[in-house]
Amino acid sequence: MKIVTYTNKSNTELGIIVENNIYSLSSISNSMNEFLTMGESAMKKARLIEDKIKAGSYSDSGINLADSNLLAPVPNPPSCKDAYAFRQHVATARRNRGVDMIPEFDQFPIFYFTNHNAILGPSQDILCMPDHMQRLDFELEAAIVIGKKGRNIKASDADNYIAGYLIMNDMSARGLQMEEMKLNLGPAKGKDFCTIIGPYLVTPDELKNKKVETINGHTGNTYSLEMKCWVNGELVSQGNMRDMNWTFAEIIERCAYGADILPGDVIGSGTVGTGCFLELNGTNKLKDPEYTPVWLQDGDVIEMEIECLGRIKNKVVLENTSHSLFALKKNM
């Protein structure tokens, strides 16, 4: 199933997509968090509705997807975490900075908490403060949504906790981020202003034909899904979800060690190789020392697509303010 959160006549509703139409799931719930908390019983009810729609025996005619306003599938997740699963991205970014690959990457999956109150949907504008515009960047990622509560989950069982998959754009203000990371803490203000997810929650059964062999020595499901990003219509990034060196199952195992994971929690994969300007600029600079780095600007449109997971499109909008954290720095 493809489950969405959308607005219908100013009301926020939950729905499923069947052949480019959205059908309401309001008879079950109008909240994704509540729907997921209800567990498998809610999923079974939604599948029954989907079966009736496909059989032509459902009374509701639905609304056309093109006429709808999709919100983030999980507008208010209990938490939002982001991992570091693609070795290509990490190794390339470190090479570009002139430092060796960190051996700990291959020892355990790592993640950080980002701002779960700054979630945007698949077509919302990205409101940026002036400081964000100093090396503003996108990050092309996949993400999962947790479907049931768990704690101390083994990787061998962790895929059973995944309600579905979606696209994530982990927007990044590199100027702020680089300053913070000098203090070995963060990212904080460099990442807390916007995380985009969508356009819908795709349940694992939809991806069964895309399942491929997992990297030797690792545990969990792996899917071959093409990932792409365009800025102002120009293709700037291309990768594949199968290149995750840590599976989502292994990331869940790490997240759930001594801590609860909850229905609605969002967990990102981390940036795919070539999936941000930070990496691309560094690579191009190595090839050509005269290369001028490219960063996102006010008015830029970012589009991301992951095979089977849909497409998101968001515009950068600079807020009308002069307020600046950089201006508040103490002179030493």
Give the pair of three-digit tokens for residue 281. Answer: 């600029």
DSSP state of 286: H
pLDDT in tens, the chain (332 residues): 999 999 988 889 999 999 999 999 999 999 999 999 999 999 999 999 999 999 999 988 899 998 889 999 999 999 999 999 999 999 999 999 899 999 999 999 999 999 999 999 999 999 999 999 999 999 999 999 999 999 999 999 999 999 999 999 999 999 999 999 889 888 899 999 999 999 999 999 999 999 999 999 999 999 999 999 999 999 999 999 999 999 999 999 999 999 999 999 999 999 999 999 999 999 999 999 999 999 999 999 999 999 999 999 999 999 999 999 999 999 86
Q: How far apart are CA 13 and CA 165, in angstroms?
A: 19
First CA to last CA across the chain, in angstroms?
57
The closest alpha carbon to 325, from 212, 195, 175, 148, belongs to: 175
CA distance 38 to 203: 16
pLDDT at 332: 61
CB-based contacts of 60, cutoff 8 Å, min separation 6: 23, 24
- Spelled out in words, what is the top-level CATH class assigned to the domain 80-327? alpha beta
Q: Alpha-carbon distance 126 to 139, whole Å?
A: 14
Predicted local confidence at residue 185, as pLDDT:
86
- How many Cβ atoms from other residues are within 10 Å of residue 213's Cβ? 8
| 84 to 11, 48, 106, 292, 332: CA distances (angstroms) | 37, 37, 11, 27, 35
Distance CA 139, CA 171 (A): 6
Which residues make beta-bridge pairs with 144? 165, 267
Q: The whole model's pTM is what? A: 0.97
User: Which residues, in sequence order, are CB contacts of 183 under 8 Å at separation 6+?
Assistant: none
| Number of C-beta neighbours around residue 290 at 10 A | 5
Instruction: Quote the CA–CA distance of 140 and 271 in Å, as a whole number.
Output: 6
The answer to whether the beta carbons of residues 273 and 182 sit under 8 Å apart is: no
Q: Which of 213, 215, 37, 243 is nearest to 142 (CA)?
A: 243
Domain ranges of the chain: 2-70, 80-327
Cα-only R_g, the chain: 20
Asked if 119 contacts 77 with a C-beta cutoff of 8 angstroms, the reply is: yes
In sequence order, the 6+-apart residues with CB closer than 8 A to the CB of 260 are 149, 150, 151
pLDDT at 8: 85
The pLDDT value given to residue 9:
82
Burial of 57 per CB tally in 10 Å (0-12, 13-18, 19+) = exposed
What pLDDT does residue 83 have? 97
Number of residues that make up the chain:
332
Structure tokens belonging to residue 195: 């995380």
Q: Please, what's the largest Cα pairwise distance for the chain? A: 73
Check if the beta carbon of residue 242 is closer than 8 Å to that of residue 273.
no
Instruction: Return d(Cα 51, Cα 58) in angstroms, integer.
Output: 9
Strand 260-261 to 211-212 pairing: unpaired
Closest CA to 248 of 232, 268, 234: 268
